[in-house]
Structure 1
């Protein structure tokens, strides 16, 4: 079951109860874990004053766990989980039980109608969630959907990334042009032949050319070169868009634009790994 608090919230709570520095705390304080009979999550290192009474401690804990002070039975456990005090009495002070840093205060919730029972404070799946229909959503004003529609009418290339960059005064993200020419880079592809050794930029990635062609499934129009790298520097096994164009081991294949391929006497090398790839240049 999911916790009510995520990691960041738990850390914030920890920082709050610890104060500015646990190293500079008063000698009369102790850092104790807290567990609860109905809850899986634990509050780590609550800073507690040894001079507070158990009754005062229960009131403090009620704000953390949702169990009324009158319904709490407190036990003290050592850092191994062994019960030191099975019943901490209200009139005693916390220091009476000689707790040490790292010990546990375990809360037994005696309220059968407690809000923490059966996971109601932790499992959000138990809470009925309202789901709005598309029709109801479309009737609402000032929604993101209507905002997006209005922006797209003004600028068909609008994106949320562009909008955020504009508001922050940052350069607009570059939009890649859709390739409409089926013979794009045909001249460069003419110098690439199947079986030739080559180097792919960036990174001088040595390879063997396995395929030269256009209309590669899932890729923009134009010419592509299928390569089998000497090292696992690729993103493919010789397939693209569910179709196979050549055979190679997974991670050794790639489809790159011809202008990224240099044909020549390129013996295999063991270095030159690079991940300076531009999205859209290859798969």
Structure 2
């Protein structure tokens, strides 16, 4: 099952990809099954029923919709640093023996085809193509051999990182949470459409059509099941929570000279079986460009 969270004419909607077409309904339309987040909370049967209903919905004109993140307001977004050995080698850190977890906030999220924003205070906006894991069942103290039962599906993430702010302190949270830097989408793909744990998927990041990252999810230091099990020792996972599982080597900061994203650049992240996430880079508007508030 493949779901797309969208907006059309000021209304939120949910669509599915079926037989090569995108079919969907907006809130308030007859038969609208609810948001993807609501369906995940209701359980697997609700998700399947929602998919069946939307397979009969009208075909959407892609020009008339805006892609939203698959889950717009997750209760938790937990990112994982240094989860590919080759990426750790290009970083100033030693390979950790325990996952490097840090938070990302929902206020940073944008969807497919939205502008990824370079903040006014920095020119060091970097790309990080990553696999996003979307939780479907809540729980804590989850055994590793049962952890994949808690995964509803997967998506793509481009974790835009403001490097000079990331390295201001030992904790990376500031540089990882600027508004408009967390690209997420274009769709949610249910776990049954992919190999167990989304292992063995090719990941390619391109900047202006040049390949800058090439990796494979099989190379993660901590796989999806391990991440869920370890995280759940401390944290109760809930439906709709997102784990952003780490980036392979090739970040712009590590290149010589460094390569950072600038306005007009196009950054794409492609993961086998999940599609391609595309975003154009734009500068944050100055205060004078923002609409007045009354």
Q: Structure 1-normalised TM-score?
A: 0.22
Larger Rg: 1
Q: TM-score, normalised by structure 2?
A: 0.22
Higher RCO structure (Cα 8 Å, ≥6 apart): 2
Between structures 1 and 2, the one with greater strand share? 2
